Structure 1
C-alpha cells in the first residue's frame, strides 16, 4: 500500500516519559496557570497538548534522510557515534552478553535519523516545562521546526470538543490559528476567555484612571491591569450594597476589631428521640478546626439536656483521646450520625425525609477571623454575627434579592444518589445560604453596572467610541468594556464555587475548600461560609487575582475563535487539522455540573453573548455522554453515545482531516475498566470501533499520565495511564480486505519490531499494553476489513485480543536471550515466586537450560538447603556486591541489585554508579528483564507491589542512563562522558 504523505514525529516516536512527568508536575502549578481562569472537568495538561501538537505537525527525520546526510556536521557526528555503537556491540559479543535489539540494523542512515530525532526530543523536553510556556526563545525554536515541516502556509488547529480549551490555547502558543467549538455554553465562555477576547487588545495600555504607568504593555498585560483595577471598583460598590451583612468581630480591647474570614456551620435536623424532638441537633463530620500538631484548635460541644440546648466552646490543644473524638464529630457512618443530646442514631433516610419536609436547618458553630496576630477562633454566640445572618434571610424572603435565575432544577450528586436521596437539594438556590445569595447577587448587580464606567474610561484612554461589542467582532470602547466585564463575570463564577454550602473548612491548611473539590458535587454536613469582602482564600479579591494573573500570561500570538456547536454537525475551517479530547462515555456529567456556573454567568454574559444564553440551563439532550436517566436506561444511553460519537468522528474524518497531517484524539478511561478487562475492554473496543467505522486508520497510541501520585516517583508507580492519545489518518478508499490468518501473520511480522522500539523509548511496563495497541491497530485498521473464517468482519475486540497475545509472545521470547542462570531464575520465579520448592523440580528446570541448581547458587541467585530451593529476596543479596569484580555476574543479579538500589535512593548518584558498573553491554538486558518480570508479577503472579518496583525502574531509566553517563570511571569521579 503506497504512502502519499510524510510521516510525522508522533507516528514514530515521542519522548513520552518527559511529557508525562511535565504533565503530572503541571497539576501542582496553580497561580497564573490557564486552568485557574475557570473550573472545567477532566481537562488535559497544557504540556501534553503542546507536545502532541508539535509532534503532530513536525516531520519525522526518516522522511528527510538524503538532506540530513548532506549536512557535513551532522554526518560527521553520526559517523563517530556509529563507530562507537559498533565497537560496543563487538565488545558485548566477545563477552558473551546479549544486547537488546541486536538485530536492529546499525547504518549511517539509521544513526543520523536517531540523532535528528533526539534533537527534536530535546526541543520537546524544553517545550513542556511550565516555566518555558512564556519563554519566546523556546517557543520560537518549536515554531521554526513547525514552519520547516509545514511550509510557509501554517495549518490552523480545530478542536470540536474544546471544553476547557487546552488544545486551542496550546495551538495558539505555537503560533497557529486556533479554533474550537463545544455544545456547552460554559465551555464556550472559557474558550473565548482563553483564545478569542484577549488578542483583540494585544499590547494596549490600561485605561483606568491613573493607569498606563509603563511605556510598553505586552500581550494582554494592559487588559489584566484593568481587570484588577475594576475588580476592586466592583468590590467597593458591592460592599456599599450588602456590607452590613458582614460585620467585624470584636477581639477585645488590645486586639480591636477584625474581619471574619469564615463562618463555620453545621446542618441540623430535629432529634429522632421523641423526648427531644423539638431540639435541632447538628450533623458534624469533625469538630477540628486546626489539626496541626501542637497548634490544635477544636470545638467542644456543651449539651444541657434540662434546657434542651447545644452550644460549642473553642478548645486549644487537649489530650490524645480528646483530639481523636474531635476528629470524628458526630458522624458514625457515610451519612449517619449520633444525636448529641440523646445518643440516638440519625440515619441517612431520616435526614433525607427531614430535609424533604423542610426540617433541615443550618447551625452556626464557630467563627474564624483575621486578627493582627493571625487567625482568631471564636464561638458562635456573637450577637451581631447572628443578627447579620437573620438580616440576610429577611432580604431574601422579602424579594429584595432576585434569585429567579437559581430556580432551575439541579441534578447533582444528591438528586442522582443511588438510594434516591436528595437531602433537600432540588434547585440551585438550595446550594446557598441567604447571605451567600445576597453577596453573590450584589456582585452580579454591580457587574451589570460596570460596562458604562469602563466604556467612558476607555474613550478617555484612547479607544474609539464604537458601540460594536465582542459578539460582533468589535475591538474598541464597547468591546473593551465588555471584555473587562466578561473576565470579572468569570471571577464571580469562581466566587460562587467558593461561596456555597458545599464548601468545607480545610483543617490541615486553615482555609476554605471550593464546591467542586472533586468532579462532582458531594454532600457536606458541616461547611464553611467565606467572606467575599475579606482578603482570604475564596474572597472576591482572591478570585480577581487568579483571573488577572491568567490573562496577563495568555499567549496571544495568533487569533482564535470558539463557537457553540455540536461536534456531530460543526463546520471545520478549510485547511485545518484536528486534535480533540472528546468526552468519554459517562465519566463526567458536564452539562449537569456546569449548570451551577451557568446560572450565575447567564446574568452577566447574556448581555455580551446573548446567543449563548438564550435558554435557562445548558443543553442536555444532545450532550454526547451516556447518561442513563436522560435516555431511559444504561443500554439506551450507551447506544446514544456510540452512535453520536461515530457521527462526530465521521464528520471529523471527512471534513476536519488533511492528508498531510494525522488527527490526534485523546481517549480517557476508567482505571478499573482496563484492570478488569485488559486492553480488550468494552470501553476501549467500542471507542476504537467507532473511530475505525468513521473512516480512520489508527497509526499510534501513546499513554499519557495526567494525574499526580503520592508515590516516590509519579511516573514510576504501577497505575495505568489516565489517557491515551490515538494518532489517526483517514483510511484510503482503496484499502484491501484480508483474512484472519493474513492479519495474524502481519502481526507476527511487524509487531515485534514496533514493541522493541517502544521498549527502546523506555515505555513503562504498565503502559506497554496500551502503547502496543498503536502499531497493532495500525495493521488492523489499514485494511477495509479483516474477515473471520465464517465470512464475518473481525471485531475490534477480537483484534485487541490478538494484539495482546502477540505482546505476551514477544515478552516471553526475550527470555531466551538471557544467560542460563537468569532463565532458570525467571522460570522458577514464575512458578514459585519467593516461596520454597522441591530441589528435584528445580534441578530439572536448571538442567533443561544446560546448568545445575549449584550454578544458580554459585551465582548468588538462590538458596538451596534440605532438599528445598528458593529465590533470594533482594534484601538478602550481598551488600558489597560489585558487578565489576563478580566473575559470575548474571543479568538476574544485576537487575535485582539495581532495583534494590533504586528502591532505596531513586534517581541518585549511587544508583547511577551501579548502572555504570553494570555497563552498557548488560544494561539493555537488565532493562529487558525488568519488562519480563513486570509482566510476570502483574499478569501471572498478581503481585502489584513487586511489579511496581520494576515499573519504577523503567520509568526512571532515561534519567538514570544520563546520570550514569556523567560518571567517568567507577571510582566515583564525576565527569561528563560522551556515551553510555
Structure 2
C-alpha cells in the first residue's frame, strides 16, 4: 500500500498494521489504519473557492468542508487494507459506493454530512434541535425542480414590482440599488445630537479586479451640510466644504466609541442605543442603463417614502407575516440588545417589513405545492441577512456586507439598505436568492481530487445522482432517548458536534426563525454550563453518543471532527467518550478551516482533529505513539500555528488513556 506520508510515518503505519495482522479485515475500517490527512488538507484548500450549489440555498454558520466529509464517509465504511490508489479512485468516482448503507448525523446543522453521504448512494438520517437546520437540510436533500421554481419566482417578483417599486423611487430613470445612512445620536453628557461615522468615504475605486468601476476615485460626504463630493484623486486627505477643513479618513466613531464633537465625551453603542437611533440617508447608489453605478444625494421623495412606509406598515402589520418575539435577554452574546434593539421586528426598516411580509403572504396564498412553497420561503429567509438594518458595505469593492458575515450581530457605522426588488444587481436581492435555491438541484459540481501521479489536487467534474437511498430528517435533541422499537439502525456515523468554545448558532438562526414562528428549539443546545462546564458539556455529548451507539449495527467505527486550543474542551470530549463507553482507535489532523480576512485571528484553530472511536467491547488498550511534533512534521509544508499545536497536544492527551486497538 502506498501512503501519502513521509517514510518514517510509513514504517510506523506498517508496524501498526503488523500488530493488527491477526485481526480479520472486516472488523476494522480503513480510517483506523490509514487516512490521507496531508493530501486531503491540500484538496480542501483548493476547494475553498468552489461554489457547490447544494449548499448555497441558505446560509448556515458552521460547515465542515464537503471534501473532508466525503473522505471521512469513505474511509469509515471501507475495510482496512484498501490501497491509496483505490481510495482516491473511489473518492473521484460518481458510483454509489455507500449504496445499501445508512449514514447518521445527530448534529446535522447545515447538512453537509448528509448531502455528501447521499451523493455516495447512502440512505441518510439526521437530526438537530434547530428548526432552521431542518428547513435547510430538507431542501438540500430533496431540492425542487429549478425551472418550475423560477416560474413561481417570476410571478412573485412581478407582484412585488407592481406593488412596491414605488418604495424605491428615482427621478433620473436609473434604478436605486443601495441607500447609505448613518446614525444621528445624542451625547449622554451634553445632550447634543451628532452624526456617528468612521470617515467621510462612501465609495472608493481602488482599480482592483472584481471591484466596481466608478467614474471617480472617491465619493465622500460633508458632515456639516451633507453634500456629496466626487474626487478624482484617491490620495486626497482633506475635504474643503462649508468654509471648514475635514479630514477624510477621520470621523466621530473611532476605537470602538463615539467621540462627541461638542464636549469630547466617549460613548459606546450601549450608551447611545445606536441601533434604534434616528438614521439619515446620506446617499443613494443607482445603476444606470449601461450598468455603471453612481451615487446621488437623497431626494425629497426618498425622505417621504420613509414616512409613508411607516404608516403603511402600521396599518398592515396585523395581517402580514413578520418577525415576532423579543430578543432573549439571557444570551451568550449581548448584541443586538446592547444596541437598544429588543425585538426582532426592530431589526428591519418599515419598507423591508412591507416587502418581505407581502412576499411571504403571496407565497402562502399562491403556491399550493408544499415543497415549492417551502423552497420559496427558504429564498425569502435567506434574503433576510441582506435586507435588515445592520448591513454594511465593502467600500473598495462595492458590495453589500451581509449580517452575520462575521458570525455575530455587528453594527456598521455606515449602514446600507438594499433595494430587494432590483432586477440586475445587488447582493442578496429576492431574485438572487430565488435563483440560489433554483440552482441547488444542479447535478454537476466541479471540485478537486488528489492526483496520485503528480501528488497534487486537480479539478474534477462530478455528476452527482440523488436517486439512491432514502432520507429522514427530524427536529430532535440528539441526547433525547428513543423508544427501542423506534430506533432505526445505522451503518456509519460521521458528525461535527458543537464545540466547547462555542458560537451560539441558535441565537443567529433565531433571526430567521422569528419570521416563521419557530423561536423554540427541540431541546437544549449542547453548550457548557457555567457552574461545571467540562462535566455538563461532556455528559450532554456523552448522552448523545450513547444514543448513537444504540442505533449502530455492523463493525464500522464512528468518526467526528473537533478542535479547540482550550484543554477543558478536550477534557469534556473525554468525559463524553467515557460515559458512552467508547474507545479511541485513531486520531488524524486535517487542515479544514484556513481563515481569511476578518475571520483571521492568531488564536483561531485551523486544523480539525478527527476522532475515530468505537465501543470498548472488542478492543484492548494500546499505546498511543503519536505526538504533536510528529503531526507537525508529517504535515509539512502546510503550516500549523501555535493554537493548533495546543489543539493537537490536548487531543492526544485526551486520547492517551482511552486509546485501543480492535481485538
Same fold (TM over 0.5): yes
Contact 1:158 1:577 (C-alpha < 8 Å) held by counterparts: yes
Contact 1:667 1:725 (C-alpha < 8 Å) held by counterparts: yes
Contact 1:284 1:330 (C-alpha < 8 Å) held by counterparts: yes
Report what 2:134 is aligned to: 188
* Among candidates 491, 510, 515, match of residue 600 of structure 1: 515
Contact 2:385 2:403 (C-alpha < 8 Å) held by counterparts: yes
1:514-549 superposed Cα distances (whole Å, 9 cap, x missing partner): 111111111223210000110322211111111111
Report what 1:643 is aligned to: 539
Relative to 1, partners in 2 of residues 1:312 and 1:691: Cα closer, same or farther, differing over 3 Å? farther
Report what 2:594 is aligned to: 708
Q: How do 1:898-977 residues align onto structure 2 when only pairs under 5 Å count?
A: none
Relative to 1, partners in 2 of residues 1:373 and 1:379: Cα closer, same or farther, differing over 3 Å? same
Question: Is 1:546 aligned to 2:436, yes or no?
Answer: yes
Question: Is 1:576 aligned to 2:511, yes or no?
Answer: no
Relative to 1, partners in 2 of residues 1:755 and 1:426: Cα closer, same or farther, differing over 3 Å? closer
1:922-960 superposed Cα distances (whole Å, 9 cap, x missing partner): xxxxxxxxxxxxxxxxxxxxxxxxxxxxxxxxxxxxxxx
1:478-524 superposed Cα distances (whole Å, 9 cap, x missing partner): xxx21111111111011111101111111121121111111111122
Q: How many residues align?
A: 592
* Rounded Cα–Cα distance in structure 1 between residues aligned with 2:592 and 2:323: 34
Relative to 1, partners in 2 of residues 1:719 and 1:482: Cα closer, same or farther, differing over 3 Å? closer
* Among candidates 324, 335, 347, match of residue 257 of structure 2: 335
Relative to 1, partners in 2 of residues 1:775 and 1:707: Cα closer, same or farther, differing over 3 Å? closer
Question: Is 1:232 aligned to 2:154, yes or no?
Answer: yes
Relative to 1, partners in 2 of residues 1:327 and 1:701: Cα closer, same or farther, differing over 3 Å? farther
Question: Is 1:731 aligned to 2:644, yes or no?
Answer: no
Specify every segment of 5 or more residues in structure 2 that has no aligned partner in the other structure, as ranges: 1-19, 208-215, 240-245, 444-463
Contact 2:476 2:522 (C-alpha < 8 Å) held by counterparts: no
**How many Å apart are 1:386 and its aligned residue?**
1.4
Task: Give the structure with the larger helix fraction.
Answer: 1
Report what 1:864 is aligned to: none
Relative to 1, partners in 2 of residues 1:361 and 1:758: Cα closer, same or farther, differing over 3 Å? closer
Report what 1:25 is aligned to: 46
* Rounded Cα–Cα distance in structure 2 between residues aligned with 1:359 and 1:665: 43
Question: Is 1:297 aligned to 2:251, yes or no?
Answer: no
Relative to 1, partners in 2 of residues 1:182 and 1:759: Cα closer, same or farther, differing over 3 Å? same
Report what 2:311 is aligned to: 394
* Rounded Cα–Cα distance in structure 2 between residues aligned with 1:530 and 1:757: 47
**How many Å apart are 1:618 and its aligned residue?**
2.9
Report what 2:374 is aligned to: 486
Question: Is 1:48 aligned to 2:68, yes or no?
Answer: yes
Report what 1:850 is aligned to: none
* Rounded Cα–Cα distance in structure 1 between residues aligned with 2:465 and 2:499: 29
* Rounded Cα–Cα distance in structure 2 between residues aligned with 1:588 and 1:334: 22
* Rounded Cα–Cα distance in structure 2 between residues aligned with 1:702 and 1:246: 54
Question: Is 1:260 aligned to 2:176, yes or no?
Answer: yes
Contact 2:202 2:221 (C-alpha < 8 Å) held by counterparts: no
**How many Å apart are 1:374 and its aligned residue?**
3.7
Give the TM-score of the pair, scaled to structure 1: 0.56
* Rounded Cα–Cα distance in structure 2 between residues aligned with 1:404 and 1:494: 16
Relative to 1, partners in 2 of residues 1:286 and 1:718: Cα closer, same or farther, differing over 3 Å? closer
Report what 1:355 is aligned to: 273
* Rounded Cα–Cα distance in structure 1 between residues aligned with 2:434 and 2:45: 26
Q: How do 1:403-414 residues align onto structure 2 when only pairs under 5 Å count?
A: 405-411=322-328
Question: Is 1:692 aligned to 2:578, yes or no?
Answer: yes
Report what 1:562 is aligned to: 473
**How many Å apart are 1:656 and its aligned residue?**
3.1
* Among candidates 381, 384, 388, match of residue 301 of structure 2: 384
Relative to 1, partners in 2 of residues 1:333 and 1:759: Cα closer, same or farther, differing over 3 Å? closer
Report what 2:447 is aligned to: none
Report what 1:873 is aligned to: none
Q: How do 1:81-92 residues align onto structure 2 when only pairs under 5 Å count?
A: none
Contact 2:491 2:554 (C-alpha < 8 Å) held by counterparts: no
Relative to 1, partners in 2 of residues 1:29 and 1:422: Cα closer, same or farther, differing over 3 Å? same
Relative to 1, partners in 2 of residues 1:768 and 1:642: Cα closer, same or farther, differing over 3 Å? closer
Specify every segment of 5 or more residues in structure 1 that has no aligned partner in the other structure, as ranges: 62-115, 128-137, 148-153, 199-219, 251-256, 304-309, 453-480, 603-612, 674-680, 737-745, 785-980
Secondary structure of the residue aligned to 1:552 is coil
Contact 1:290 1:510 (C-alpha < 8 Å) held by counterparts: yes
1:156-201 superposed Cα distances (whole Å, 9 cap, x missing partner): 0010111100001100000111111111110011111111x33xxx
Contact 1:157 1:176 (C-alpha < 8 Å) held by counterparts: yes
Report what 1:874 is aligned to: none
**How many Å apart are 1:758 and its aligned residue?**
9.2
* Rounded Cα–Cα distance in structure 2 between residues aligned with 1:506 and 1:753: 43
Contact 1:699 1:774 (C-alpha < 8 Å) held by counterparts: no
Report what 2:14 is aligned to: none
Q: How do 1:429-578 residues align onto structure 2 when only pairs under 5 Å count?
A: 429-452=345-368, 481-534=369-422, 535-536=424-425, 537-553=427-443, 555-558=465-468, 559-569=470-480, 571=482, 572-578=487-493
Contact 1:659 1:730 (C-alpha < 8 Å) held by counterparts: no
Q: How do 1:116-155 residues align onto structure 2 when only pairs under 5 Å count?
A: 117-123=83-89, 127=92, 138-140=93-95, 143-144=96-97, 154-155=100-101
* Rounded Cα–Cα distance in structure 2 between residues aligned with 1:658 and 1:641: 27
**How many Å apart are 1:578 and its aligned residue?**
1.1
How large is the Cα RMSD of the aligned pairs? 3.5
Whose RCO is larger (CA < 8 A, sep 6+)? 2
Relative to 1, partners in 2 of residues 1:496 and 1:636: Cα closer, same or farther, differing over 3 Å? same
Relative to 1, partners in 2 of residues 1:555 and 1:364: Cα closer, same or farther, differing over 3 Å? farther
Secondary structure of the residue aligned to 2:515 is helix
Q: How do 1:169-184 residues align onto structure 2 when only pairs under 5 Å count?
A: 169-184=115-130
**How many Å apart are 1:315 and its aligned residue?**
2.2
Give the TM-score of the pair, scaled to structure 2: 0.81
Relative to 1, partners in 2 of residues 1:734 and 1:193: Cα closer, same or farther, differing over 3 Å? closer
Task: Give the structure with the larger strand fraction.
Answer: 2
* Rounded Cα–Cα distance in structure 2 between residues aligned with 1:235 and 1:663: 46
Rg larger in structure? 1
